[in-house]
């Protein structure tokens, strides 16, 4: 019987329940950032192979169809999507909270002589001015944020997009596998096992996605690999 991990998860849940809602949210989010720092610090060289996902070619197709030129890659990690888009001529800005991920991304871009503006930053509080980008892309990113932060992120994305800007996101069907975790009130899993301690995972329903991007004039979505959802939200109706 796996009593110890279960008891540890319950202890963590009780400890966090004793905090104020604001203190709990801050503590949980700091743990999430620490998880990603640890995870990326274990990577010493860029992994320069693109993922085998059927929807990847759709991203530049949608960008080109909407005449997008300047693109923000949210949670860019070591830069595979930024590199992929820069290869095709887009002006790409990549942001990630993990300094090591950005260092790897910069190394990869340098190897290919690509001009990509990478920076370390928290995507829960994006530092960009209104109407800066033609497009924002987020591949499997929102799943690592609780609902309240996702709502704030969606609002900020809408703000930093130009009037005819678009958002492209892939939302994975996560949180159904094994693991030790406790849950926030909104259903976000806070992992407690050694390998994933602090990581947040949340599955967003179709209804929640529609609400998150309701400020956009037009939203389309379709199922893709492994139950994921490929979503495009446009600020204009055209």
Query: To the nearest 5 percent, what fractions of the chain are helix, strand and coil?
Result: 40, 20, 35
pLDDT band at 137 (very low <50, low <70, confident <90, very high): very high
Return the residue matching tokens 């997009």.
Answer: 161
Give, in order, the Cα–Cα distances in Å from 61 to each of 57, 66, 144, 172: 7, 9, 26, 21
* Contact (CB, 8 A) for 118 and 109: yes
Please give the pLDDT value at position 78: 97
Domain boundaries, the chain: 20-46+55-234
Residue 12 CB partners (closer than 8 Å, separation 6+): 182, 190, 192
**How large is the greatest C-alpha to C-alpha distance in the chain, in angstroms?**
58
CA angle 157, 199, 56 (to 5 degrees): 50
Q: For residue 29, what pLDDT is reported?
A: 94
CATH architecture of 20-46+55-234: 3-Layer(aba) Sandwich (3.40)
What per-residue confidence (pLDDT) applies to 174?
Answer: 85
> Is the pLDDT confidence value at 2 over 70?
no
Q: Say what the pLDDT of residue 179 is.
A: 80
Dist CA 209 CA 77 (whole Å): 23
Mean pLDDT of 199-218: 96
Give residue 93's pLDDT.
98
The per-residue pLDDT for range 66-95, each reduced to its tens digit, is: 999 999 999 999 999 999 999 999 999 999
């Amino acid at each position: 019987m796996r009593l110890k991990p279960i008891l540890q998860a319950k202890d963590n849940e009780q400890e966090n329940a004793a905090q104020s809602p604001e203190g709990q949210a801050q503590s949980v989010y700091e743990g999430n950032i620490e998880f990603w720092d640890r995870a990326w610090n274990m990577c010493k060289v860029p992994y320069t192979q693109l993922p085998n996902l059927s929807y990847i070619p759709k991203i530049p197709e949608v960008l080109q169809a909407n005449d997008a030129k300047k693109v923000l890659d949210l949670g860019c990690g070591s830069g595979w999507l930024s590199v992929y888009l820069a290869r095709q001529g887009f002006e790409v800005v990549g942001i990630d909270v993990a300094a090591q991920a950005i260092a790897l991304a910069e190394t990869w871009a340098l190897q290919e002589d690509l001009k990509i503006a990478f920076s370390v930053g928290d995507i829960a509080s994006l530092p960009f001015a209104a109407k800066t980008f033609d497009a924002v892309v987020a591949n499997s990113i929102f799943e690592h944020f609780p609902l309240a932060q996702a709502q704030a992120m969606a609002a900020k994305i809408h703000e930093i997009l130009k009037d005819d800007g678009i958002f492209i996101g892939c939302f994975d069907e996560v949180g159904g596998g094994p693991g030790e975790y406790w849950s926030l009130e909104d259903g976000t899993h806070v992992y407690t096992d050694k390998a994933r301690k602090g990581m947040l995972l949340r599955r967003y329903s179709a209804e929640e996605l529609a609400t998150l991007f309701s400020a956009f004039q037009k939203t389309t979505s379709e199922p893709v690999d492994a139950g994921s959802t490929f979503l495009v939200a446009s600020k204009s109706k055209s």
